[in-house]
Amino acid sequence: MLNPMPDSTARVLILDDDADVAYAARMLLRRRYSEVAVLHDPAQLDGMLARGVPDVVLLDFNFTPGRTDGAEGLAALDVLRRQPQPPAVIALTAYADVPLAVEALKRGAADFITKPWDNARLVAAVDAALALRRPAAGVVPHGASALMGGSAPMQAVRAMIAGVAPTEANVMVLGENGVGKELVARALHVQSRRAAGTFLSVDMGALPESTFESELFGHRKGSFTDAKADRAGRFQAARGGTLFLDEIGNMPLAAQAKLLTALERREVTPIGADRPESVDVRIVSATNLDEARLFDPGVFRADLLFRLNTIVVRVPPLRERRDDVPLLARHYLALYEAQYGRPARAIAPGAVDALCMHAWPGNVRALRHACERAVILGAHAEYRIDDFGLAAVAMPALAAVAPVTNAVREEATLSSLEREAIAAALAQAQGNISHAARMLGVSRAALYRKLDKHGI
């Protein structure tokens, strides 16, 4: 079972020259772990290590203005890995520096996080790193709050993870956007025999088809115009661990054929290489496609599907486990109270009921954003439903309990009506952003801006 409680004995070090980045990470993590220290210069690292080695290090890779080669961070990583009991290292990198992060993984880093990070993703990564470093102590990552809850659906998911994780079977995780599919994948990795290896996540829908093979299988220097050095692909970087292929349903059919070949042969050929390389990875994939579309041969190859879905884990949407909403809400409120330095407050009883009745088309991710909004904007002794930005969209769900009066309807602002329309489209599209954008007649980028505007 995944542990939702913070590890009161863990020590975390943040090594980053950007004071704002380091401060934000410390504020996020300090309530979960017993000690969160900050250094801005790798020259100070030896002195800190002499006083004790931390459990986890969040490591930036460029400290001198103008440098982008990551050499300073890699040198610090080597120092950390030479310790008698080395810490787990999580690389902090910009998206453009993913090749540098892969190099860090090859040198022993446990994971990498791209800036700006998702808070839940960062906390999950730190917990997973702790589990890898101290498995004998029984440290198990909480899987972030998406896997919290005592509802029957979540108990079933955790039981399936516990049964499947120790095997080598490929697993496909199904669920709407925002339910926590990557967290399920991480839990599968941490509870597997590959837990000491790398967990590497790849957004398959975001990989351009032109660079698909290079990103996954690697390339040799000179194999194309920008190939200025040999580069390992994701399959090689995750060797001995777990490769998480997220948004697998968004892959073009041509790319699916290339992936199928790699999985069938258990080998990849880097671009420009004259011989294949064997790969040893466990594949966990995920998609928000419903199963009817997934089995449509015009959308997804049946032979690849059968390679990927040996075991299927279905993650329930939040509306199917409403009993978990109060626990999740309190978790996220505490998380953001710590991050923003706000006092702890209870949720008003009426607000708890409204949160439980809300449809949550964006699932746990939407609840998290609503809680962050409440912490920032709430001005009362207790959190009220309007603090969560849900007053307008919660009303239809609560109609069976308290019918909405005409006066209330007349007070709805244009902004609240827009929010209601977005929530309805997301619900009809089962959380799929692309489908919801098409229904609303806006671009994905515009919809993302409106989601941010309304705190959905």
Residues 6+ away with beta carbon under 8 Å from 162: 1, 191
Bridge partners, 243 (sequence order) = 200, 283
Q: What is 144-316's CATH number?
A: 3.40.50.300
Q: Which of 369, 312, 371, 373 is nearest to 347 (CA)?
A: 371
**Start-end ranges of CATH 1.10.8.60 in the chain?**
318-454
Burial 332-356 (b: 16+ CB within 10 A, else e): bbbbbbbbeeeeebebbeebbbbbb
Are 429 and 435 in contact, with CB atoms under 8 Å apart? yes
**Which amino acid is residue 131, in one-letter code?**
A
Helices (H), 206-348: 212-217, 234-237, 253-265, 291-294, 302-308, 325-340
Provide the residue-wise pLDDT of the chain in tens; the chain has 456 residues: 333 344 557 889 999 988 888 888 898 898 788 789 999 999 999 888 988 889 999 999 888 887 888 889 999 998 998 887 788 898 887 755 667 777 777 777 877 787 778 787 788 778 777 765 654 333 333 334 447 777 888 888 988 998 899 999 999 999 999 999 999 999 999 889 998 888 998 888 888 877 888 889 988 887 887 777 888 888 998 889 999 999 999 898 989 999 999 999 999 988 888 888 998 999 999 999 988 888 898 999 999 999 999 999 999 999 999 988 998 898 889 888 888 888 889 898 889 989 999 999 999 999 999 999 999 999 999 999 999 998 544 334 333 333 334 433 333 445 666 676 787 777 666 667 777 776 676 666 677 767 767 767
pLDDT at 159: 87
Task: Give the chain's radius of gyration (CA, Å).
Answer: 23
Cα–Cα distance measured from residue 117 to residue 14, given in angstroms and rounded to the nearest whole number: 14
What sign does the CA torsion over 411, 412, 415, 416 have? positive
Give the per-residue pLDDT at 452.
67
Residue intervals in the chain for CATH 3.40.50.300: 144-316
CATH class of the 6-142 domain in this structure: alpha beta
Distances (CA, A) of 296 to 40, 63, 110, 203, 252: 52, 50, 37, 21, 13
> What pLDDT score was predicted for residue 320?
93
In the chain, helix, strand, coil percent, each to 5?
A: 50, 15, 35
- The token pair that represents 54 in the structure block: 């931390």
The whole-angstrom distance between residue 129's C-alpha and the CA centroid of its chain comes to 14
In the chain, where does the domain assigned CATH 3.40.50.2300 lie?
6-142
CA distances from 9 to 32, 34, 49 (A): 9, 5, 17
Which pair of tokens denotes residue 127? 């917990």
Q: How many Å separate Cα 66 from the centre of its chain?
A: 30
Q: Which of 367, 267, 276 is nearest to 327 (CA)?
A: 367
379: which 2 tokens? 């001005």
User: Which residues make beta-bridge pairs with 247?
Assistant: none
Q: What is the pTM of this model?
A: 0.59
Residue whose entry in the numeric block shows the structure tokens 């997301």? 426
CB neighbourhood size of 136 (10 A): 6
Return the pLDDT at 377: 93
The whole-number pLDDT of residue 437 equals 73
Domain 318-454 has CATH 1.10.8.60: yes
β-partners of residue 285 are 172, 245
Q: What is the pLDDT of residue 413?
A: 45
State how far the Cα of 29 lies from the Cα of 412, in Å rounded to an integer: 38
CA dihedral 267, 270, 276, 279 (to 10 degrees): -30
